[in-house]
Structure 1
Amino acid sequence: MNSNVKSPPGCRNVSRGRLHGSLVSRLDLVTLKLFVAIVEEQSINRAAEREFIAPSAVSKRIADLEHATQTQLLLRHRKGVEPTAAGLAMLNHARTMLRNLAELESEIFDYADGVRGNVRMLASESALFGYFPDALKTFTKLYPEIRIDLAAASSAASVQAVMDGTTDIGIFWGDIAAPHLTVVPCYSDRLVAVVPARHPLSTVDTVRYADVLDHEMVEQEASSALQALLVRQAAELGITPRSHVRVAGYDAVCRMVQANLGVGIVPHSYAARLSPTAGIVSINLQEQWVDRHYKVCVRDLEQQPVATRLMFQHLTGNASTQ
């Protein structure tokens, strides 16, 4: 080592290892809190008043901190104090450490008292009927103090809401871009055709989509991801669907089918819950594209409250096929 290299004025020439050990052993959260208060108040006296401690005790702690770091952290002048460049670095880290401690305290208390919180979720209509009832039944038994706000939305809207921070967890299907989100497979479902009980197709177990398109269809709203899929698949077959009715939602589709206004396409999880007396028959479709694989997404998972993380883990740990 070059013996001619000098330490900054007022600082001892110590090794990085010794400095690190000294700082770790002498740094405490009370001093960090006082340091933040001094910078924010621009005064040792005002910081002491704010934290209910004698100014002399504050000065002693800051002097000890500067001695431990071998660095001047504050500039003292007539108008008060201000941080040095090193002091600004200390301020940023101190705030982060205090914030993390507050989050840790909140999280530990949540576990001690029984986890509480609120989780906002958006999911497709089929997920509401087919997946969530059983998934939420087990979750609420484990965490009865967590409130769940669950609403229906399109896949695109669910992803966008998570990205915007207006909802905590989204369930979606299809090739929707979800940049900067944590995305994990959740469950699978498939589409089926539903026809009136006396429809010409009602006696078959499976049917090709091309054969379904020979009949009048009940369409869904144009903004629906499912409707876009059905139109695209019909176009690949060179067929233009015939329809006089367009509705929003699977329940409305089934009601139109029940009224003998056409053939509908809905998720199997929804059709399976139709009453046997509804006068509707579901038929399996032969195409591979009828299988839909859902995903659950969340933003900054590690930064989410305990309740949101527990829900996300529950959904991804209970992936299933409907």
Structure 2
Amino acid sequence: MHFDIIDLRLFTHIAEAGNLTKGADRAALSPAAASARLKALEAQLGQRLFYRDSRGVTLTAAGETLLRHARVILRQVEHVRTDFSADPTTAAGHFRLFANTTAINEILPKVLADFLGERPHVAVHIEERNTHDVVRSILDSSADVGVVAGVVTTEGLESRCFSTDRLVLVTPPRHPLAGLTVAAFSETMGYPHVGLRGSTLQEFLVQKARLAERRLDMRILMGSFESMCCMIESGVGIGVLPESAALRHSQHAKLRVIQLSDEWSIRERRVLYRELDALPACARAFVNLLCK
């Protein structure tokens, strides 16, 4: 069975666009040429790859399988081109890095500043995703490296724990819980909470409350740790944040930071990838720097 890189790239473009014409345009082919190549690819595989209707195309089960493999193959071709075209004296290269909110705000700024400061010719494409999306993106090769904090299922991936962080309770100074040095999460459930919108952390806390057969009173959901702390300081509610974020913002705001006694408040920070040796050289260097 012979696979043409051009056909795999075309197939991936069509799958991601959900439209043959748009996919063909991204591949710099005419719709007629793209359709002919796609039919030849389906004939070679003996499988239908797309369902077609008036709205566009959607992947069949066989198409989903091929897309996973195609992304891996295309990423590896890209990595080979990068590694062998790079000037060793300039250490050029690029990789895709996906990370959750905690990692984006609390881990990566300093690490990337050091990493890129020593490698001015390296480019990093970085996107903020929730933890589930980070894992899925590494599995389907949409990203090369993922950085997350908290509970994560890494089946099918390689991962390394590079540090730990703690979740803490943050309250305004005059809150009834503000005088505590340690509190259980269950003690917070009777008070309005400020949460982080669309985050894995928010999902995790709601799940913990559900397991305790309680319900979190979510007063408001914010888009960042900074905006959460502003709302908490103003008295809107209390919140659970990574300790690193809480301590940083408490330097400029009137906040009380209280340790949580729950075992799950200690979280691992992990870097994820499919296979270390298959990463481009610059991505391997990033992983090694993060884990040193």
The two structures, once aligned, show a CA RMSD in angstroms of 2.7
When structure 1 is superposed on structure 2, of 285-294 and 125-134 the one drifting more is: 125-134
Pairwise CA distance, 1:109: 6.4
Q: Which runs of 5+ in 1 are unaligned?
A: 1-98, 318-322
> Do 2:230 and 2:253's aligned partners in 1 also have CA atoms closer than 8 Å?
no
2:277 matched to 1:302?
yes
Pairwise CA distance, 1:249: 3.3
Pairwise CA distance, 1:208: 1.7
Shift in CA distance, 177/116, structure 1 to aligned 2, threshold 3 Å: same
Match of 2:159 in 1: 183
> Do 2:232 and 2:238's aligned partners in 1 also have CA atoms closer than 8 Å?
yes
Pairwise CA distance, 1:179: 4.1
Pairwise CA distance, 1:111: 5.8
SS of 2:98's partner is strand
2:282 matched to 1:316?
no
Q: 1:273 aligns with which of 224, 240, 248?
A: 248
Deviation per CA, 1:228-258: give whole Å up to 9, x if none: 2212322343432223323343233223212
Shift in CA distance, 306/200, structure 1 to aligned 2, threshold 3 Å: same
Pairwise CA distance, 1:224: 2.9
> C-alpha distance in 2, partners of 1:287/1:300?
34
When structure 1 is superposed on structure 2, of 113-122 and 227-236 the one drifting more is: 227-236
SS of 2:248's partner is coil
Match of 2:147 in 1: 171
> C-alpha distance in 2, partners of 1:106/1:216?
51
> Do 2:93 and 2:122's aligned partners in 1 also have CA atoms closer than 8 Å?
yes
Amino acid at match of 2:203: A
> Do 1:218 and 1:245's aligned partners in 2 also have CA atoms closer than 8 Å?
yes
> Do 1:129 and 1:269's aligned partners in 2 also have CA atoms closer than 8 Å?
no
> C-alpha distance in 1, partners of 2:148/2:183?
27
Shift in CA distance, 282/161, structure 1 to aligned 2, threshold 3 Å: same
Q: Give the % identical residues.
A: 24
> Do 1:156 and 1:172's aligned partners in 2 also have CA atoms closer than 8 Å?
no
Aligned length: 216
SS of 1:203's partner is coil
Q: Which runs of 5+ in 2 are unaligned?
A: 1-75
> Do 1:123 and 1:171's aligned partners in 2 also have CA atoms closer than 8 Å?
yes
Q: 1:283 aligns with which of 251, 255, 258?
A: 258
Structure possessing the higher radius of gyration over alpha carbons: 1
Query: 5 Å matches for 1:145-156?
Result: 145-156=121-132
> C-alpha distance in 1, partners of 2:154/2:210?
27
> C-alpha distance in 1, partners of 2:147/2:179?
35
Q: 1:251 aligns with which of 220, 226, 251?
A: 226
Amino acid at match of 1:252: S
Amino acid at match of 2:195: E
Match of 1:158 in 2: 134
Query: 5 Å matches for 1:96-245?
Result: 103=80, 107=83, 110=86, 112-221=88-197, 223-245=198-220
Shift in CA distance, 273/175, structure 1 to aligned 2, threshold 3 Å: closer
> C-alpha distance in 1, partners of 2:88/2:213?
62
SS of 2:249's partner is coil
> C-alpha distance in 2, partners of 1:183/1:255?
35
Pairwise CA distance, 1:161: 1.4
> C-alpha distance in 2, partners of 1:246/1:303?
39
> C-alpha distance in 1, partners of 2:131/2:253?
28
